[in-house]
Chains A and B, each alone.
Chain A
Amino acid sequence: MNTNFKSWPILLALGLTSVPLVTMYAYMIIDTVTVSPPGSFIPNGISFGSWSFLWEAPAPGRPSIWSVTLNTFIFACVSTLMALSVSLTGGYALSRLHLPFRGFFLGGLIVLHAFPTITLIIAIFLILQMVGLYDTLAGVILVKAALEIPFGVWIMKGFYDTVPWEIEMAGLTDGATRFTVWRKLVLPQVQPGITALGIFAFLSGWSEFILPQVLAPGADAQVLGVYLQSLISDDTSMDFAKFKSVGVFYAIPVILIYILFNKHLMNIYGGGTKG
């Protein structure tokens, strides 16, 4: 590449165009630990005051950041587990079993996946209220998991399709039941898919905003996205440094996960394409 293609013009162009982005990210973090005079880029002092939400008691009527974080964690984990368990079994069924209406299910999955969540929200709201799950973490977890499932089933079906039939046939003739074959022989082959799908579902749950905002706005079931929004919608005390601090706090797990698992995340494109 070096001999017949100069790299510096590209680097220069990329560098110039990403300067605004880099600046924004840099100041998002810098502003949370410094104080600057209005209108100035140069901070004139260090202060961790905007991070005080981490250790100070919350204002009356406000949930503590730690209970909100715990809620977010539960929300992301449980909806991931539910979506994973249905995707793993449903994807297998669609890939391998002679289901009636198989084509209908496959088409339905795509349609459901393409359906914008927001168009369903009034119906979901009514349903949750009727069954008494409105403003509970359980209710919004169920909704989130249900909406994750079409994508998950579709991705897992693609992974299952790449597992050779012969492995299952060999397992059966070796005396294993269909379930054991799935559990011990097939699941290990789709391990990359499980990892990738799990991380995707977790990140999607972690960053979910609109569902908890509409379906569980109360203090008991609040998640970080809603907490952040309530900060900015509070006109009486606009604190941008605190808003940025919570934003950074909210983003840290996501950044860590991307750094640790980026290789696994790429798998979803490598393995899931043969569906």
Chain B
Amino acid sequence: MRIELKNFKKTFGDITVIEDMSLSLESGEMLALLGPSGCGKSTTLFAICGIHRMTGGQLLFGDRDVTLVPSQQRNVGVVFQNYALYPHMNAYENIAFPLMIRKEDRKTIEKKVSEIAALVHIGELMERKPAQLSGGQQQRVALARALVREPDILLLDEPLANLDAKLRLEMRSEIRRIQQQTGITAILVTHDQVEAMSMCDRIAIMNKGDIVQLSSPQDMYQNPNSEFVASFLGNPPIAFLDGVVTDGGVQLASSEALLPLRGQHGLPSSGMPIRLGIRPEHFQPENPLKVTGRISFVETQGREELYDVTLSNGSVLRSIQRQGGGYHLGDEVSWGIAENQILAFDASGARLHMGALA
């Protein structure tokens, strides 16, 4: 079902959490609300499921205006961070609870519960109480409970935050599989960019109560519209070089080094400050635009190796390379930046679009 949030505003007392936010989801789409803590992503989620009343704005499920509809009649399924399973009921009763509230007959309930249990692979756990289930199993029960009454929209509030690393990986693909299999419209709230990128069709990055960019994971990674977005996405994170635009290119701050970005147009006029964002995969030994520095940190990640290279002016660039480069801590290296992959930002953090000269 198509979900539309128009001019949403939310205040708690004197504090305005969200000023004016609009968002729309296509039917069957999974969207991530991604942002640092306190950016208002959970507030948005609670407004959509009806637990918080909206201070202003409008919420549409399909053509139905649910702005003033209480939570019970909205038909949303929510998976909470701590799963919020009912501790005194076993898995079956937990999943059946929404149906019992609707007073469906026993046969129908049994049929629906066993169908959904098969979908989330917990068929054999139905007799267990939540305390007897592992984190991943609790997560599956919570998903089943949220999905069993075929909600218009599925809301996931940091669903993986309480799982250990291995389970998180497993549940990431499981949630996506279940979402795609049921074709439900879903919103995932998370502060983890890896989750957002790997699970969702689109990502809305939020900062201070506003959506700063809304795009597909791929596009957002390659074309961030601000420094905030660029620094939020990517692991290991992007590195920045401060500098000033000169005739010959970019003069790095407190350094003699000049990056000759002659092949680029769209640079601001001379004398303007500029920040260059360089992702670790675009700072490699074989690239032509060399900068020199000293390896100040090496992190082995198994398949790859992550190097921090400190330049003479103190700035740090990161590089991620295959194993076996033979570089060591303290080595003086001269590696190159992939010129056409540089992301440039002005002093306010907004993206400057540069392109190669034709």
Query: Using a CB–CB distance below 8 Å, which chain A residues touch chain B?
Result: 164, 166-167, 169-177, 180, 185, 188-189, 191
Q: Which residue of A lies closest to B75 (CB)?
A: A175
- The one of B71, B82, B83, B145 in contact with A172, judged by C-beta atoms closer than 8 angstroms, is B71
Q: Do B72 and A166 have beta carbons less than 8 Å apart?
A: no
Given contacts A169-B78, A169-B84, contact A174 B97 (CB under 8 A): yes
Given contacts A166-B80, A170-B78, A188-B88, contact A175 B51 (CB under 8 A): no
Q: What total count of A-B pairs have CB within 8 Å? A: 59
A173–B86 CA distance with the chains assembled, in angstroms: 13
Task: Confirm or deny: B35 has a beta carbon within 8 angstroms of a beta carbon on chain A.
Answer: no
Q: Which residue of A lies closest to B77 (CB)?
A: A173
Q: Which residue of A lies closest to B46 (CB)?
A: A169
Given contacts A167-B86, A169-B51, contact A176 B80 (CB under 8 A): no
CB distance from A271 to the nearest CB of B (A): 14
B73-106 contacts to A (CB < 8 Å):
73-74, 76-78, 80-88, 97-98, 101-102
Q: Do A167 and B98 have beta carbons less than 8 Å apart?
A: no
Q: Do B49 and A175 have beta carbons less than 8 Å apart?
A: no
Task: Confirm or deny: B217 has a beta carbon within 8 angstroms of a beta carbon on chain A.
Answer: no
- The one of A164, A167, A176, A189 in contact with B72, judged by C-beta atoms closer than 8 angstroms, is A176
Q: Do A175 and B72 have beta carbons less than 8 Å apart?
A: yes
Q: Do B87 and A170 have beta carbons less than 8 Å apart?
A: no
- The one of A166, A173, A188, A189 in contact with B71, judged by C-beta atoms closer than 8 angstroms, is A173
A sample of 11 more A-B contacts (CB under 8 A), given A169-B78, A188-B86, is A164-B82, A169-B51, A169-B84, A170-B80, A172-B51, A173-B51, A173-B72, A174-B97, A175-B72, A175-B98, A177-B72
Q: Do A173 and B149 have beta carbons less than 8 Å apart?
A: no
Taking CB atoms, residues of chain B closer than 8 Å to A180 are: 101
Given contacts A166-B84, A167-B86, A188-B88, contact A173 B102 (CB under 8 A): no
Closest 4 CB pairs of A and B: A166-B84, A174-B98, A170-B84, A188-B88
- The one of A167, A175, A188, A191 in contact with B84, judged by C-beta atoms closer than 8 angstroms, is A167
CB distance from A126 to the nearest CB of B (A): 46
Task: Confirm or deny: B50 has a beta carbon within 8 angstroms of a beta carbon on chain A.
Answer: yes
Taking CB atoms, residues of chain B closer than 8 Å to A189 are: 87-88
Q: Which residue of A lies closest to B49 (CB)?
A: A173
- The one of A169, A176, A188, A191 in contact with B101, judged by C-beta atoms closer than 8 angstroms, is A176
B39-53 contacts to A (CB < 8 Å):
46, 49-51
Taking CB atoms, residues of chain B closer than 8 Å to A176 are: 72, 97, 101
Q: Which residue of B lies closest to A165 (CB)?
A: B84
Given contacts A169-B51, A170-B78, contact A175 B86 (CB under 8 A): no
Given contacts A164-B84, A189-B87, contact A173 B101 (CB under 8 A): no
> What are 30 A-to-B residue pairs whose CB atoms are below 8 Å?
A164-B82, A164-B84, A166-B80, A166-B83, A166-B84, A167-B84, A169-B49, A169-B51, A169-B84, A170-B86, A171-B86, A171-B97, A172-B51, A173-B49, A173-B50, A173-B51, A173-B71, A173-B72, A173-B74, A173-B77, A173-B78, A174-B149, A175-B149, A176-B72, A176-B101, A177-B72, A188-B86, A188-B87, A188-B88, A189-B87
Task: Name the residue in A166, A171, A174, A175 with the highest tally of chain B Cβ atoms < 10 Å from its Cβ.
Answer: A174
- The one of A166, A171, A175 in contact with B82, judged by C-beta atoms closer than 8 angstroms, is A166
CB distance from B161 to the nearest CB of A (A): 13
Q: Which residue of A lies closest to B86 (CB)?
A: A185
CB distance from A217 to the nearest CB of B (A): 46
A185–B101 CA distance with the chains assembled, in angstroms: 12
A185–B84 CA distance with the chains assembled, in angstroms: 11
A164–B145 CA distance with the chains assembled, in angstroms: 18
Q: Which residue of A lies closest to B80 (CB)?
A: A166
Q: Do A172 and B72 have beta carbons less than 8 Å apart?
A: yes
Taking CB atoms, residues of chain B closer than 8 Å to A172 are: 50-51, 71-72
Q: Do B102 and A175 have beta carbons less than 8 Å apart?
A: yes
Q: Which residue of A lies closest to B157 (CB)?
A: A166
Q: Which residue of B lies closest to A187 (CB)?
A: B88
Q: Which residue of B lies closest to A188 (CB)?
A: B88
Q: Which residue of B lies closest to A168 (CB)?
A: B84
A166–B80 CA distance with the chains assembled, in angstroms: 7
Q: Do A169 and B88 have beta carbons less than 8 Å apart?
A: no
A28–B53 CA distance with the chains assembled, in angstroms: 65
CB distance from B152 to the nearest CB of A (A): 12
CB distance from A159 to the nearest CB of B (A): 14
B248-291 contacts to A (CB < 8 Å):
none
CB distance from A166 to the nearest CB of B (A): 4
